Each structure stands twice: as C-alpha cells, then as structure tokens.
Structure 1
Amino acid sequence: MNELMTPPQDLEAERSVLGAMMLSRDAIQDVSEIITGADFYRPAHETIFRAILDMQSRGEPIDVVTVSGSLTGAGELANIGGPAQLHEIAAGTPSASNAGYYAEIVAKQAIRRRIATAGHQIASMAHQPGDESELVELARKAVDATSKAATSAVQSFGETIDAMLGQLDEKPNYIPTPWAALNSIIGGLRPGGLYVIGARPSVGKSVIALQLAKALTAKGSVAFSSLEMSEVDVQMRAVSADLRIELRRLIERDLTPGDWEKIRIRRASWQNVPLFVDDNSGVTITDIKRFARSVNRRQPLAGLVVDYLQLMSQPAGDKRPRHEFVADMSRQLKILAMDMKIPVVALSQLNRGSTQRDDQMPKISDLRESGAVEQDADVVILLHREIMGEKRGDLAMLVAKNRNGSTNVAQLDFWGHYSMALDKGASLTQRAAA
C-alpha cells in the first residue's frame, strides 16, 4: 500500500504503552483512563493490552513473564509473536512514567483513523438514495462519533458485574422533576429514558413540558422543540411562572409598575438559562435530532422536550401510513435518548376515548397511534384535570406505565393563570420557590 494511504498510526507509541504497563502497575491505571483496546492499530498490541487488563482485574502480578504465561494459557502467545516479542517491547520502552503521554499519542492516532473511516462513509452516502436532510444528519453523526471508540470491548457478565455493584453505593442518576409527588413514583428523569406525556387539548401538556424543561436546565442545556407555540409564547409562560405574573397580563401587555420591577430584578438571571427553543413548524424527526446535536455542541445537553408528537411532519416522499410513521418516530426518539444519554420528554395528544367514559379518566390506549409509542416509552404519564373556575383546578398525573417501577397517581394543583402546576398542599413558601 502506498505510504500516503496507510491509516494514521504510531506503532512505537503503542509498544511503549504496553511496555510501560508491564513495567509499572501505576502505568496501567494511567493508560486505561485514556485508551481502550480498540484504539490500537496492530491487533497483536490490542491482544496484549486486553490480557494485561484482565490480569489486573484478577489481582495477578504483571510483568513480561506473567503476561507471557497468561497469553499462553489463552492460546494467544504465538499470535502476538511469542515471548521474544514481549521482552523486546519491554526493553524498548523509554520510560514507564511517561505511559500517559504515550497513550495520548495512541488515542490521537485512533481518532485520525476514525476520521478517515467517517470520510469514506460520508463519501459513499452521496451516492445513496434517501432524503438529503437525513443523509446530512447521518454524516454529522459519523463525524461526532470520531471522538469515541469505534468499537466497544466485548465483556462478559462476570467482567462487568463489579462495576454495577460499585454503583449501588451511589444514588440513582435521576434528574428530579418539579413535583415531589411524581418523583416518589418514577424517581425522576433518567438519562436514556423516553417519557411520554399524553392529554386531551387544553389540559396542560405544554405547561408540564415547560416546567420539566426548566428543571432539566439545572443539569445542562435543554433543547425544546415547540411545534405548537412560538418561542415568544414559551418565554411568556416561563416569565409568568417565574414571577407569578398572570399570563393574560403578559399577553395583553397589561403590566403594572410592580410587574416591571419584578422583570427588572430577574432579567439578568434569565440570561444564563440554557434553554434553547426551536419553534419551526413542520419539523421532521431528522430536524429534531439535528437541533438536539446542535445544542449539545453549544453546551452539553441535559434533555430534549418535544411538544408534541402528532404535529411532527413526515419527510417529503414518505408514503407510509401515519401509524407506521409514528412508530418509527417514537423509536428514533428512544434511540436518541440512549445515544446521547439524556432523558427525552415527548408530549402526545390523546384521542376522544376518555370523553366517552363516565369518569372521563384517560387510559394508555387513548394515546393516538399508541401501539409503538406505548412500547418505546419507559414512562407514560396521562394528564387529567377537573376544571374549577378559570384560574385553578386539580391536575392528576396518572403514571400508566413505569418500566422501572410501579404505577400510581400524583395529585397536583394546576395554576393555569401562572402557567404552572404545584404539588397539592404545597406551602406558600414552597410555592414561591417552585
């Protein structure tokens, strides 16, 4: 192969990493925090690397002789060049104390190889059929993946169980919702989870969505895809909830001097709220994924909120029945949640089934095009509100599905004039802080 076509590599750095690991146990820790086996260009080097890590996990002594014995037992010694190869690697290592530096070189060369691979993939995409916007999104995803390991190490249950047991001393990685009553049922929003919130029109889906989005901003940036409200509408509702200014007065521009003073005091703090709103109508799932990744590049993403599923558009030329399209859409949102390790909150319209029942309580079967949405969701929450006057009422959050726990009902007070819902019975102090 022409030298210019040889994939990026630094075999000397790879050998120095392995030599340092056989000479110093401290080097093993330094190296394992920087690279994985997939970062080595030469397969024999990856084999040696994995053998050393396996020996370390078993608490065995590590040097040229013991590594040679381990590889012999695994039937791999001849494949890496025999014991002489291990002695040569160790003898040629300049300094075990520089293991981290050598590992950084290996990692950088691995990234360059992945860039080259992504380039070939992107070039081939230009000749593939399909929607151009989707191809662009796939190309961006391929580029984003170049900073990650191309493949994951294949590990058995026994090799990974200790890592899981070590997490049992830690609290679950949930992001609390604004409502203690709901947290007691679902724990909070879990990275990688898909949360579907369904309701009939005007029950309060958008109010709940905005409160969840604001809660997520405590952990990072939030992408809010608003297919029903404009960005100004979203901002007005946020101001109403934050400052207890009636939404009607904001919409009608009927503000008092006291309202303006509240705004003046709070305005500076709003500048730092990492909530990004996309209010473009007719967006596709590809547009939403592009928006989420763009926000993530601006500031690490803590969550995505989509308001709401039934308003998403099918790409031009997509002739699938609507239920098949919705099935694919919900699945892609779940994959996006797992891929980006964030909670995704998707609002969904309910059909008229609940209005035909005596108690009018919604059921999970009331979700429009519900089959796939129900299947993909980790948690399904159905909203039901009894209207009590024009300002407030009771809001029931029915947890109809909870993949990791039980189902139950969280009872809230709905304060529509302030665009917010609060735990039932919350004190005035708690209400002011919510």
Structure 2
Amino acid sequence: MDDDKNGGEPPHSLEAEKAALRAMLSSGDAIADIVEVLHDTDFYRSAHGLIYTTILDLYARDQAHDEVAVTAELSKKELLEQAGGRSYVLGLANGRAGRSTTWLKQAERVQALAVLRRTKEAAVHIENLAAGGTADDADAIANTAQAEIFAATARRRHGIPPAYSIGDTMEGALDEIEAIGSRKGELAGITTGFTDLDSLTGGLYPGQLIVVAARPAMGKSTLATDFLRTASIKNNIPSALFTLESRRTDVTLRVLAAEARVAVHHMRSGTMTDEDWTRLARRMPDVAAAPLYIQDDAYATFTDLRAHCRRLRAQQDVQMIAVDALHLLSYGTRPFTSRYEEISEISRCLKLLAMELEVPIVAVSTLNRGPEQRPDKRPMVSDLRDSGALEDNADIVILLHREDAYEKDSPRAGEADLIVAKHRFGPTATITVAFQGHYARFVDMAQT
C-alpha cells in the first residue's frame, strides 16, 4: 500500500520513497537537497535505505550514482539481493525525476511518515511502561517517555537553514564587540568564580564545550560544581548538574559544605559543632533559593541526557550545564566498534548540543594513567581517556593537577593547578588555586 495510513500497517508511502530515490539516481542537485531532509532510517522499506546509503557513498566519492553504478556497487558488496535485486534497482529509474520542489515534497513526506512511525512505536512502549508501572516508578517513566518522544521526533526539520554571507553577519559581530566594550571590564561570559581563569577566558560562553579532566580523586567533580555554585548561588544564573557519580543528596552536602565552610566529614560523622550549625543555617536560605538543578536519575545514555537538557533549557531557562562524568555515559541508540569511537561521537554531540541550546556545557572526564608515568606527574592533553576527539571538539580543556595528591609532604600542599591546555579563542596558561578538600571546594589563592 502507498497511502499514508496503509490499513493496519505503520504509516509509510513506498511511492514517495521511490520518487525520492529516483530523483537521487538522476540528479546530483537532488542528492544535495534530499540529504538535508532524509536519513537512511527514515525509509520504511529497508531496501530503500540501503539504496539511499549506496547513492550517498558513490556521490561522496565523486563517482557516477545512476542506477547502473548503484547496481554494480551493491553487487560488489554482495548486497544486491537485500536491495531488492537488479531489476528492482534498475526499475527505480523509470519515470521522470521531476523538479526540485517535487523531490523535496516527496522527501519531506517520507520524513513526516517516519516521524509518525517512530512516534507510534514510542507511544506503544510508553503505554506498556505505564501499564506495568507503580506510583514509585512515575518519575522514571515520565523521564523515559520524554526521552523517547524527543528521540522519535529529533530528525524532524523545519526547512533547510539558510547560509549567510559574511556581509550579512557583520552588523551582528560589530554589535557584539560594542556590547563587550560597553561592559567596562565586566565578563562577557559566565564567571567561573576564579579571577585568573576568568581573565584568561572571559568567562564561559554559550555554545562552548569545556572539558575538565584529571586522574581520580583530584577534585574534578568539585571544580565543575564550583562553576555551577558561582553561577547559581552567587549570580542567580540557572544551571544544571547531571551526575552519574553521586547522589543528589551527596552533591547538596558538598555544596552546603563549600558555601557554609563546614567540613564535609563533620556532616557525615555527626560531629558538627554549634558554630558549624550556625554557619550552615546562615547559608541555607541562599543555597535553597538558588536555581541550581541536580539530575542523578538514570540518564546513562546520551539520548536521555539530551532530552533532559532540552527540557531544563525550555522550562527553567538553564544557562549552564555540567555533565559528570563522560566515562560513565553511553551513546545508547546504536552500537560502536570501540569505546574510542563512542566517546568521539558523544563529545561531538555534546558540542552540538551546547550550540543548539546556546549554553556552555562543562564535561568532566578522567585521564588515563599517563601522568603517573612521568616524574612530575603533570597531566597533558594527550592523556584524555578513550578519545582524542574529546580534545578536538572541546573549546577549552582544563587539566587539574595537585602535587600533594602524589606527595603528602609537598611544599605545595593545599595548592592546585588548573592547566588550561587548550583554549580555542585565546592563550593557554597554568593557574594556581587553593584546594580546600575538607570544604569540597577550590578558591582563589587570595581567599585563603
């Protein structure tokens, strides 16, 4: 059937799929247009998806991509039968390709029906989850439902975005320069809370991916939380922490310890003094009122994480996000040949998400054992675990190093180096701050 409803079958139109492929077989312009609308998974008939990817492969190699060339390529890869056979592929070329408005209309129809199919599948899964759930499961089911709906509709596009000439963008660039100059020394981005780091970077900008990396137990999660504390508690800027490493209660205790200057081990051992309680009570109202959101539920896939981020951006106007930690995150929707490849894709998508939401995203990552093999133990950007693409996609890479983590009697005990090893729009440098581990925080040296 070729009607959208197809009786009891999922929504699809084989005629629209054939029309889109027919246009691609005969016109490079059609390929350039249709690739902006369709993905191979949008085709209902798997054979059409296979033909589609073969056309794109030939086109990318600047080779002929007509029905004869596609048939030969499929045969060479022993995929011709899966694509419907020689006569089927050759038969797709019968008829006229039509005008660009026609092939785009057919491609958009294929895409729209794919969205309907995915939405229907997601709805059935959500209904099954809800039917078997309990009141205790409601939040988890709601999060899953939203993630699945986002995933089902993620490829839905509203036309191809235009390209702009540099002349068209000049006015906006000049406005930004003037706006920064009019602030008279104020930061253009979101302050990190560290004077020298802000001077170097200008703060954290919308669309940036900032990687904070270190060996275990160096305080990388604490540093990321410090950025969020400064944004939300000090400056009332909505921010969010996505953590797979800690419970939200643990995060809250560390935030309270940092803000009230009450030792974490006093909180956990039940040995808080009256003075501790007084300091805690003094800071609790400001901490409680801060627009800092903590997500510690199961968001172990990037698809879930992206859905949660979009929701918080839309509902709470979140303007900075931290993800702790990348090594515990999986992509979730397709298999990868290696962890290297998977982390590369996650880092790429985090950068795209930062640009889409127009917020800085701070990603916490673990370094490999490289620093421990060096006499001075200092980390290098090449120590980033699992993927060199993490460095490529990051705008800023901050490597955290503490000498006293390796040598307890170090003359630099209580100091930490923030090694800005990559800075896409400025210089690199090493910034020394104070580490107050008992308060779960880093501070400027001047505050010690």
Q: 1:266 corresponds to which residue? A: 283
Q: Which amino acid aligns with 2:432?
A: Q
More moved, 308-317 vs 159-168: 308-317
Gaps in structure 2 of 5+ consecutive residues = 1-108, 126-143, 181-186
In the superposition, the TM-score normalised over structure 1's length comes to 0.65
Q: 1:156 corresponds to which residue? A: 165
Structure 2 CA distance for partners of 1:316 and 1:140, relative to 1, 3 Å:
closer
User: Is the 1:219–1:302 contact (alpha carbons within 8 Å) kept by the matching residues of 2?
Assistant: no
Structure 2 CA distance for partners of 1:389 and 1:422, relative to 1, 3 Å:
farther
Structure 2 CA distance for partners of 1:272 and 1:392, relative to 1, 3 Å:
farther
Q: 1:80 corresponds to which residue? A: none
| Residues 1:320 and 2:337 aligned together | yes
Q: 1:240 corresponds to which residue? A: 257
Q: 2:209 corresponds to which residue? A: 194
CA distance in structure 2 between the aligned counterparts of 1:117 and 1:271, rounded to whole angstroms: 49
User: Is the 1:194–1:343 contact (alpha carbons within 8 Å) kept by the matching residues of 2?
Assistant: yes
Query: Within 5 A, what are the aligned runs for 1:26-425?
Result: 122-126=115-119, 136-139=149-152, 152-171=161-180, 173-217=188-232, 218=235, 220-281=237-298, 283-315=300-332, 318-387=335-404, 388=408, 393-424=414-445
Q: 1:67 corresponds to which residue? A: none
SS at match of 2:388: helix
Q: Which amino acid aligns with 1:411?
A: T
User: Is the 1:282–1:311 contact (alpha carbons within 8 Å) kept by the matching residues of 2?
Assistant: no
Higher relative contact order (CA 8 A, sep 6+): 1
State percent identity of aligned pairs: 32
Cα shift readout 1:285-322 (whole Å, capped 9, x = no counterpart): 11111121222233101111011110113537624311
Gaps in structure 1 of 5+ consecutive residues = 1-115
Structure 2 CA distance for partners of 1:219 and 1:302, relative to 1, 3 Å:
farther
Cα shift readout 1:73-124 (whole Å, capped 9, x = no counterpart): xxxxxxxxxxxxxxxxxxxxxxxxxxxxxxxxxxxxxxxxxxx999766314
Q: How far is 1:334 from its partner?
A: 0.3
Structure 2 CA distance for partners of 1:262 and 1:412, relative to 1, 3 Å:
same
Q: Which amino acid aligns with 1:159?
A: D
Cα shift readout 1:237-273 (whole Å, capped 9, x = no counterpart): 1011100001110111221222222232332222321
Q: Which amino acid aligns with 1:198?
A: A
CA distance in structure 2 between the aligned counterparts of 1:212 and 1:231, rounded to whole angstroms: 17
RMSD over aligned CA atoms reads 2.9
More moved, 219-228 vs 193-202: 219-228
CA distance in structure 2 between the aligned counterparts of 1:140 and 1:392, rounded to whole angstroms: 52
User: Is the 2:218–2:402 contact (alpha carbons within 8 Å) kept by the matching residues of 1?
Assistant: yes
In the superposition, the TM-score normalised over structure 2's length comes to 0.63
CA distance in structure 2 between the aligned counterparts of 1:128 and 1:282, rounded to whole angstroms: 21
CA distance in structure 2 between the aligned counterparts of 1:187 and 1:385, rounded to whole angstroms: 24
User: Is the 2:261–2:279 contact (alpha carbons within 8 Å) kept by the matching residues of 1?
Assistant: no
Structure 2 CA distance for partners of 1:231 and 1:250, relative to 1, 3 Å:
same
Q: 1:34 corresponds to which residue? A: none
Structure 2 CA distance for partners of 1:406 and 1:319, relative to 1, 3 Å:
closer
CA distance in structure 2 between the aligned counterparts of 1:313 and 1:167, rounded to whole angstroms: 37
More moved, 280-289 vs 175-184: 280-289
CA distance in structure 1 between the aligned counterparts of 2:350 and 2:236, rounded to whole angstroms: 20
Cα shift readout 1:365-401 (whole Å, capped 9, x = no counterpart): 1011131101100011101101156996110011111
SS at match of 1:305: strand
Structure 2 CA distance for partners of 1:397 and 1:336, relative to 1, 3 Å:
same
Cα shift readout 1:328-355 (whole Å, capped 9, x = no counterpart): 1001100000000000000110111111
More moved, 352-361 vs 292-301: 292-301
SS at match of 1:301: coil
